[in-house]
Amino acid sequence: MDHAQGFLALVNDAKKRIKEEDIPTVKKRLDSPEKPVLIDVREDSEWARGHVPGAIHLGRGVIERDIERAIPDKSTQLVLYCGGGFRSALAADNLQKMGYRNVISMDGGWRGWTEAGLPVIID
């Protein structure tokens, strides 16, 4: 996808402050006994077309508003994903600013997950 320069500048700035992990590393986390909370930050229409098993949906437009009710413990390990890893990076940066201390953005996002042939749920 061809993104606007201003958007890419915001993402690159956020990525300086957040932790990112590739898809194989996230998959290992999800398979471990101490599973993180997996959050899909894509739009409602994207979520409806398919998502990673076990994920909850808190879209990029509402995550900052709804996260404290959904996950009040700010030490909870959170893994965020979007289509490719840009929106999840922005959301991760904001959640850290809100006091969440264990936030990871999945680099590669939904596209990378599906390209790797990993399990998905399609409603």
Domain ranges, ordered by start, for the chain = 20-115
The answer on pLDDT for 23 being more than 90 is: yes
pLDDT at 97 over 80: yes
What are the tens digits of pLDDT across the range 39-90? 999 999 999 999 999 999 999 999 999 999 999 999 999 999 999 999 999 9
Mean pLDDT of 99-111: 98
The predicted structure's pLDDT at residue 123: 80
Chain mean position to CA 61: 13
Question: Does the pLDDT value for residue 17 go beyond 90?
Answer: yes
* Cα separations in angstroms, 65 against 22, 71, 93: 27, 12, 14
Catalytic residues: 82
Q: How many residues belong to the chain?
A: 123
pTM of the model: 0.96
What CATH number should be reported for the domain whose range is 20-115? 3.40.250.10
